Structure 1
Amino acid sequence: MSDKEQNKLDMYDAVLSLLSDNKEIVSNIPALVSSISRFRKVVDEIRREERTISSEAFEITIRTSKLKDDLIFSLVPVASGLFNFAKENGDLRLKEKCRITQSHFVRMLDRDLLEKAEILRSLAKDHLLKLKKYGINAQKLSEVQAKMTSFRNSLGNKVASFVSTDTMTPLQELFNEADRILSKYMDNYVESLNGSYAEFYDEYLWTRDIENQDAVKVMMELEEENESEE
């Protein structure tokens, strides 16, 4: 959920809380009571959808992390074997290319890790016949290739789970429905109470504007930070 959506959801909660605290006033308009019920159901659906999205994103992150670990564990013996081969044969250039430990792999960015994995796999393939005594064979390189592919594919899934598309998501549709109920029905019904319950109406308007107030607050805080840095 984006910050904008979270601010909007906070506003929804504040509106529902205000209306719940003023049931006696709200009950004067049965249509408003009905609209509130519909609105609350949509807000509950938004929360369920958000929990589902968060759970799926978490599972993808965990799966990607495991695949990254699997790739690293398969690369360590390849890098070590190449390093020892280069050291024993006095190949300083190859030695420097393979001077890398597990901790170095772990600290790499995902893209850099995949690039390094391909370099090591290619180097090992070029010297494959001479690397048998170092525990490197065609099967191990095939395993590295398979784990590279799995990790690369998982990164694609991870990005897809966080990047929005042109197609409206179920969550966006729910927010649109909540906004429609608010603006088309609830706002108008509450406005009709203005004459008899002016204070309640003013409080409702203030609550409806919470998401804009939060945006202004953030902008003011950023401006203050910039001024302090200057």
Structure 2
Amino acid sequence: MTKPQENKLTMYEAVAEVLRKHQATVNLVKTFTTAQTDFDVLLEKIRATRRGTKEAAAGKSQSKEQAREMLVLLALKVASALGSFASRTGDQELLALADVKESDFQRARDTGVASIATTIHTRSQEKVDKLADYGVTQAVLDNLSTRIADYMLTISRREAGMAEQVASTAALADLFVQADSFLKTELDRFAQILRDADDAFYREYFAARVIKDLGKRYEPKAPVATQPVSPAVVPVVPPASPPVA
């Protein structure tokens, strides 16, 4: 949700609170009561869409990061075992391949992380009968394979979640358009109708309709110090001497 939308939602909430506070006045016009209910429903849709968008984005991002962390941890363990084996047997090509550091994963993109881990798994699987003495068994490699698959799944879900978030953002924008229109065409007019019946309600209602920018803080400007201006010094020009006869 954008900052202007946050400010506007605060205004909606304030309007709804004024209506509840002056419920007896609102009830004087039956259609106004119905409009109040419709506005409350619209307001709840905005709240629900906002919650769903934020929770979905946070949940999917957290899930991906957890899966990535678990994958990298195990991949580094297997790579270390593979590197130790390559060093002891003098396999320089395998040693270079197994020379993987945590920073390599940190620099890699999402799919790159899976690619590095898959290469480690593939080459370790070829030497699985030799790696047991280094702490890597078939069960460990099976676990690594599972973590690679889990991580790839979280990437897919995250991409789907981003598409869902885009759709939710568009839906939220549409709900704000509906709410703005509803206020202008329904609630504002009903408040005007009831001005004679309850002037205090009328004034509170339209005071609540003002959108306040809650994100800004204004600091009073310090007065600019002025230096005293010295009077201009005008040179005194002596009068011309009279001509000598």
Q: TM-score, normalised by structure 2?
A: 0.62
Structure 2: unaligned runs, 5 residues or longer: 222-245
The structural deviation recorded for 1:29 is 3.1
Aligned length: 216
Counterpart residue type for residue 11 of structure 1: M
Residue 227 of structure 2 corresponds to none
**CA distance in structure 2 between the aligned counterparts of 1:49 and 1:167, rounded to whole angstroms:** 7
Residue 160 of structure 2 corresponds to 160
Tell me whether 1:78 sits opposite 2:78 in the alignment: yes
The structural deviation recorded for 1:156 is 2.5
Residue range with higher mean Cα deviation, 114-123 or 125-134? 125-134
Conservation of the 8 A alpha-carbon contact between 1:57 and 1:161 = yes
* Aligned counterparts, 1:103-182, within 5 A: 111=110, 113-121=113-121, 123-124=123-124, 131=131, 133-136=133-136, 140-141=140-141, 143-163=143-163, 164-165=165-166, 174-182=175-183
Instruction: Looking at secondary structure, tell me which structure has more helix per residue.
Output: 1
Residue 187 of structure 1 corresponds to 188
**CA distance in structure 2 between the aligned counterparts of 1:4 and 1:16, rounded to whole angstroms:** 19
Tell me whether 1:208 sits opposite 2:182 in the alignment: no
Conservation of the 8 A alpha-carbon contact between 2:12 and 2:43 = yes
Conservation of the 8 A alpha-carbon contact between 2:131 and 2:137 = yes
Cα displacement string for residues 4-37 of structure 1 (whole angstroms, at most 9, x for unaligned residues)? 4433332211111122233354344332222112
Distance of aligned partners of 1:167 and 1:174 in 2 relative to their CA distance in 1, 3 Å threshold: closer
**CA distance in structure 1 between the aligned counterparts of 2:58 and 2:167, rounded to whole angstroms:** 23
SS in 2 for 1:214: coil
The sequence identity of aligned pairs, in percent, is: 21
Cα displacement string for residues 22-78 of structure 1 (whole angstroms, at most 9, x for unaligned residues)? 335434433222211221133234434544555555554454344334423431331
Conservation of the 8 A alpha-carbon contact between 1:98 and 1:120 = no
Structure 1: unaligned runs, 5 residues or longer: 225-230
Residue 38 of structure 1 corresponds to 38
**CA distance in structure 2 between the aligned counterparts of 1:129 and 1:11, rounded to whole angstroms:** 68
The structural deviation recorded for 1:176 is 4.8
Q: Tell me how large the CA RMSD over aligned residues is.
A: 4.2
